[in-house]
Amino acid sequence: MNILAIDPGSTSTKIGVFRDGTLTKGSIEHPRAEMEHFPCVMDQLGYRMDAIRAYLRETGADGVAWDAVVGRGGLIHPVLSGVYLVDEPLIKDLEDGVSGEHAANLGGVLAHAVASGKGVPAYVVDPPVIDEMWPVARLSGMAGIERRSMFHALNQKAVARDVARELGRDYAELNLIVVHMGGGITAGAHRKGLVVDVNNGLNGDGPFSPERTGGLPVVGVLELVERGAFTTGELKGIVARRGGVYSYLNTVDMREVEARVQQGDAEAGLVREAMIYQVAKEIGGLAAALSGAVDGIVLTGGLAFGAAVVEGVRRRVEFIAPVFVRPGEFEIEALVDGALRVISGVEAARRYAGGTDEHRG
């Protein structure tokens, strides 16, 4: 079985080559200066395709007979969890960025471009817009504004399945709280295989993170606009890219923050502790959403490599359930695993339904 996995990020394209049971991972780096030449994400398509072809030639994988090509899912209309065949409606919504512009939107388009030349199917797995939320979790407190599901779905689902295997249980039998901690932080309540509540990690919801503000006092934000301190466009940039730790300490690198803490920087220590505190509060809220029936809490993402963050969260929440740590991201593995489930007949590929309410069950 031969599968090619493509995971585009803002300044890199991660590649997975699965051949005869062995997965080899690599990364193509894209200098930020080069990426700035492209006005929008989809303008990068040819550039990234050339880079992928060159990578496959250099690694001796250009002549492989692929059984499938799988890409990271993008910001399409909300969908249920699963593996989706990349077809024209899916490609159109990725190209149009119907739920926002992000490098992930290139995943399915790149996968289809490679696969169509080989006469094999292309798939995306667990896009970030998976929506399995309970109706009660959608209400925000203001009519006309609905809480939206947008999170690190691919990695959250992957580590949840891994913990289920460790426990000797099926993912669909367990109640887990999974927290992805990276540039953004998302925490999801996984109830018997469905993420029934989760914060929107991109648009100002949940804990603050190295790059993002999380939830903010609304009146305070409105007063900033009234005073002309920021335009709405500038505020959106702060919420998604220049908020959180960055807004306090002018860095998104938690290793730098940790070094400052060790040097006695009291402000850095307070900001780090506040982020930990907010993550723990989010976990506590999700435990209540699950009526206290929690089989495990899973910490994952790049920040899970940091002992101070992990132990800070653990000491506040371990009374709820055992804490499992899965540092880093397992997106390439999850993409390959999804394609394998379809090829082997364990799971059927879904067809994208566009902007319907199919995701609401």
Q: Do domains 2-128 and 135-330 have the same CATH topology?
A: yes
**pLDDT, tens only, 57-68:** 999 999 999 999
Q: What is the pLDDT of residue 358?
A: 58
Contact assessment for residue 75 and residue 105, using Cβ atoms and an 8 Å cutoff: yes
Domain ranges in the chain are 2-128, 135-330
Give the residue carrying structure tokens 């993002």: 212
Section 94-106 average pLDDT: 94
Residue 357 pLDDT level (bands cut at 50, 70, 90): low
**pLDDT, tens only, 194-210:** 999 999 988 899 999 99
Residue 361 pLDDT level (bands cut at 50, 70, 90): very low
Angle between helix 106-118 and 88-96 (nearest 10)? 140
Residue 111 in this model has a pLDDT that exceeds 70? yes
Q: What is the pLDDT of residue 90?
A: 98
Q: Quote the mean pLDDT of the chain.
A: 96
Section 231-237 average pLDDT: 93
Residue 171 pLDDT level (bands cut at 50, 70, 90): very high
The CATH architecture assigned to 135-330 reads 2-Layer Sandwich (3.30)
Section 291-300 average pLDDT: 99
284, exposed or middle or buried, with CB in 10 Å at 0-12, 13-18, 19+? Answer: middle
Encoding tokens for residue 205?
């919801």
Residue 102 in this model has a pLDDT that exceeds 60? yes
Section 227-248 average pLDDT: 94
52, exposed or middle or buried, with CB in 10 Å at 0-12, 13-18, 19+? Answer: buried
First to last CA, the chain: 33
Residue 339 in this model has a pLDDT that exceeds 50? yes
CA distance linking residue 16 with residue 25, whole number of Å: 5
Q: How many residues does the chain have?
A: 361
Encoding tokens for residue 275?
């982020």
- Looking at residue 193, the DSSP 8-state letter turns out to be T
Encoding tokens for residue 160?
């949840």
The model's pTM: 0.92
- The secondary element (H helix, E strand) that includes residue 67 is none
- Looking at residue 88, the DSSP 8-state letter turns out to be H
Which residues share a beta bridge with 327? 301
Q: What is the pLDDT of residue 32?
A: 82
Section 69-79 average pLDDT: 97
CA distance linking residue 231 with residue 211, whole number of Å: 19
Instruction: Decide if domain 2-128 falls under CATH 3.10.200.10.
Output: no
